């Protein structure tokens, strides 16, 4: 299963992800939200996602704002400007698609969510011990898959008092911890924020019980130019070039 998040209307990144994952015999796709926002191709990205085989999606905060489920004015100025533009650009069909997505999804011993798993519609970032501990304490599933921070990570609950944060190596399989619960952050397809502009996603192999983190190059300069041409904030284009 290919697990990915935070496309943010970046058609070039999504195309590269689909091309790369299709070569790896992927039979399921799980999108962890924020299909839209920031980028210049929200309609195209939704159409591409919906064409994937066995695709499931959960709601992200930008998706919720674009679908008028939450207010864009709770975001920073540039994000709000991009959401208002996205709301005007999206087709009615695609707005309805965003409205149809749920905040969480369960599959066996796995829970999928955009941000925090215990209050999914409050969009807390799970990047501190406090929020990781709350996510573990208020859920039961062994594996919690999230996005939202735009930075890939593995968070392992060693015991009630100890939580380990790790930065995974790219293109190398990490065995699932057989006895400990874990939060797996897949990073971002369309707007990485770890200093590396390449898109990030993971493949989870349920049979082998392994998690592989991938980084894939794409034409981020073209994606940045599209943002500028659409009249969206220039800062959103510049950050694609730097991966921040």
Instruction: Give tens-digit pLDDT for 150-171.
Output: 999 999 998 767 899 888 888 8
Output the furthest CA–CA distance in the chain (Å, rounded): 51
Residue 70 binned pLDDT confidence (cut-offs 50, 70, 90): confident
Q: Would the pTM of this model clear 0.85, i.e. be above it?
A: yes
CB 173 within 8 Å of CB 203? no
Residue 132 DSSP SS3: helix
φ/ψ of 216, rounded to 5, equals -135, 135
What is residue 69's predicted lDDT score, i.e. its pLDDT? 85
Looking at residue 130, what is its pLDDT? 92
Spatial CB neighbours of 125, under 8 Å, sequence gap ≥ 6: 115, 116, 131, 148, 149
Q: In the chain, what are the domain boundaries?
A: 2-242
Q: What is the pLDDT of residues 15-63, one digit of tens each?
A: 999 999 999 989 899 999 999 999 999 999 999 999 999 999 999 999 9
State residue 72's pLDDT score. 82
* pLDDT of 27: 86
Q: Which CATH superfamily includes the segment(s) 2-242?
A: Metallo-dependent phosphatases (3.60.21.10)
What percentage of the chain exceeds 70 in pLDDT?
Answer: 99
Q: What is the pLDDT of residues 116-139, one digit of tens each?
A: 999 999 999 999 999 999 999 999
Query: pLDDT band at 172, cuts 50/70/90?
Result: confident
Contact 26, 203 (CB under 8 A): yes
Whether residue 186 is predicted with pLDDT greater than 80 in this model: the reply is: yes
Q: Please, are residues 30 and 3 in contact by the beta-carbon 8 Å criterion?
A: yes
CB-CB contact of 35 with 46 (8 Å)? yes
What's the pLDDT at 97? 97
pLDDT at 185: 97
At residue 73, does pLDDT exceed 90? no
Task: Match 């839209």 to its residue by tokens.
Answer: 36
Contact 75, 65 (CB under 8 A): yes
Is the predicted pLDDT of residue 209 greater than 80, yes or no? yes
Residue 41: per-residue pLDDT: 98
């Amino acid at each position: 299963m290919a697990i990915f998040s935070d496309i943010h209307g970046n058609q070039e990144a999504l195309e590269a992800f689909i091309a790369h994952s299709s070569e790896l015999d992927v039979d399921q796709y799980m999108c962890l939200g924020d299909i839209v926002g920031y980028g210049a191709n929200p309609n195209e990205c939704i159409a591409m996602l919906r064409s994937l085989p066995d695709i499931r999606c959960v709601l992200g905060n930008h998706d919720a704002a674009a679908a008028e489920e939450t207010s864009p004015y709770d975001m920073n100025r540039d994000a709000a400007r991009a959401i208002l533009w996205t709301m005007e650009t999206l087709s009615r069909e695609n707005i309805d698609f965003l409205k149809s997505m749920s905040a969480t999804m369960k599959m066996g011993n796995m829970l999928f969510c955009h941000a925090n798993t215990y209050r999914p519609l409050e969009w807390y970032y799970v990047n501190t011990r406090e929020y990781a501990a709350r996510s573990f304490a208020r859920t039961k599933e062994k594996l919690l898959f999230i996005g939202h921070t735009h930075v890939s990570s593995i968070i392992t609950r060693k015991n009630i008092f100890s939580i380990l944060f790790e930065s995974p190596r790219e293109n190398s399989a990490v065995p699932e911890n057989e006895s400990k619960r874990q939060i797996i952050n897949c990073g971002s397809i369309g707007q990485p924020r770890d200093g590396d502009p390449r898109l990030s996603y993971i493949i989870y192999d349920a049979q082998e019980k392994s998690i592989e983190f991938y980084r894939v190059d794409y034409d981020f300069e073209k994606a940045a130019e599209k943002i500028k041409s659409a009249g969206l904030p220039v800062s959103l284009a510049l950050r694609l070039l730097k991966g921040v």
